A = this chain, B = another copy of it.
C-alpha cells in the first residue's frame, strides 16, 4: 500500500495513538488503513451410496496451484454469511447443488493472513459441472483421492479429518461429525540441525 484510497495522497507507516502496531496512515487526511485477515470458505460435498461416501473435488483452472485438486472454496464476499459463501463457491466452482450442513473445520493459515472454513454438505444430485475456475470436477472415494495432488494443506487436513470422523462414527466411537480447529504452520525453509 502506497497511497490513501480516500484522498490519493501518500501513506506512511506509523503507530496511531492508542494503538500498538504500525498502520498505513495517510500523510494528508490522516485516515488509518487497517489490514486484516481474509476468510476462505468452502464445502465438503458428499454423495453417499451403499454407506460409502464420495467427496466432490475440483481441479483448479487458475493460479495458484493450477491443475491441483481442491474442495470448492473461495474468498468470502461482503454481504453474505459463511454458509452462504460455502453454497455460492460450490455452485460457482463445481456447478453443484448442495444442502449445507454444520461447520466442520476452521483452519488458521496465519502466515498468509487467512482463515479457512469448510462446511459439511450433502450433494442433492449428480448434475455438477466445472465452473470457470475449474478444469474438471469429480467424485472420489477415500482410496481414490489424489492425495499427492491436492492444492493446499487446508484441503488435505480437512479431508483427513473428515475420513477420520467417518471411521469413529462407523466404529460407534462418536455419533456425529466434530468441529475441528487446526493451525497450519509455514513449513520450515531449512530443516533444523538435530540436537
Show the binding face of A for B, using Cβ within 8 Å: 1-11, 18, 21, 33-39, 75-84, 102-103, 106, 108, 110-111, 113, 115, 132-133, 179, 181, 183
Complex Cα–Cα for A39 and B114 (A): 11
Tell whether, in the assembled complex, residue B3 and residue A77 are in contact, meaning their CB atoms are under 8 Å apart: no
Question: Which chain B residue has the least Cβ–Cβ distance from A1?
Answer: B5
Choose one: B18, B39, B110, B132; the contact of A37 (CB below 8 Å). Answer: B39
Main secondary structure of the interface of A (DSSP, over half): loop
Identify which of B7, B21, B80 contacts A2 (C-beta below 8 A).
B7
- Contact A108 B79, beta carbon cutoff 8 Å: no
Most chain B beta-carbon neighbours within 10 Å: one of A81, A82, A102: A81
